[in-house]
Amino acid sequence: MQVRVLMIPVLLALLALSALSACEEKQQLAGPQGEKGEQGPPGPAGPAGPPGPSGTVIRFVDGECRQACTVACEANERILTTYAINPGGTFVFEDEARATFRPQRQGAAVKVVVACAPK
């Protein structure tokens, strides 16, 4: 019975030493970090993402008018709004996709902007 009682502490001591020596060996095995290698080939494409939010896309068309000029949206669009920046003028709408702009003063440069939205 005494032999078994003495064997347990001896076995525990051996296990502890074994664990400590394993840690020391791991520390000794690690060397200095090497140089960075070349980049590998690109991986496969990932899955497609979720669809974006649906909604209306508004497209802006701008230009400069010094005399009467026509501003228009594409055939599948309609005019949402128009505006002219200094000195201003008048818009006459021909149809839902086209308007004629007449500046207040002939020869003065007027920036004209049209916002177009899908029909």
Span 42-55, average pLDDT: 86
- 43 in helix, strand or coil? coil
Q: Which of 2-16, 46-60, 74-88 has the highest mean pLDDT?
A: 74-88
Is residue 59 pLDDT above 50, yes or no? yes
Q: Rounded to an integer, what distance in angstroms lies between the CA atom of residue 73 and that of residue 32?
A: 66
Q: What is the pLDDT of residue 32?
A: 85
Q: Rounded to an integer, what distance in angstroms lies between the CA atom of residue 45 and that of residue 112?
A: 44
Instruction: Please tell me the pTM assigned to this model.
Output: 0.53
Span 63-86, average pLDDT: 93
**Residue 77: exposed, middle, or buried by beta-carbon count in 10 A (0-12, 13-18, 19+)?**
buried
pLDDT tens digits for 81-112?
Answer: 999 988 889 999 999 999 999 999 888 899 99
Is residue 7 pLDDT above 70, yes or no? no
Span 51-70, average pLDDT: 88
Q: What is the pLDDT of residue 25?
A: 47
Q: Rounded to an integer, what distance in angstroms lies between the CA atom of residue 95 and that of residue 37?
A: 65
pLDDT tens digits for 9-46?
Answer: 666 666 666 665 555 545 556 778 888 889 989 999 99
Q: Which residues sit opposite 83 in a β-bridge? A: 113
Q: What is the pLDDT of residue 51?
A: 84
Q: What would the DSSP string read from start to end of 55-108?
A: -PPPEEEEEEESS-EEEE--TTEEEEEEEEESS-EEEEEEETTEEEEEESSTTS
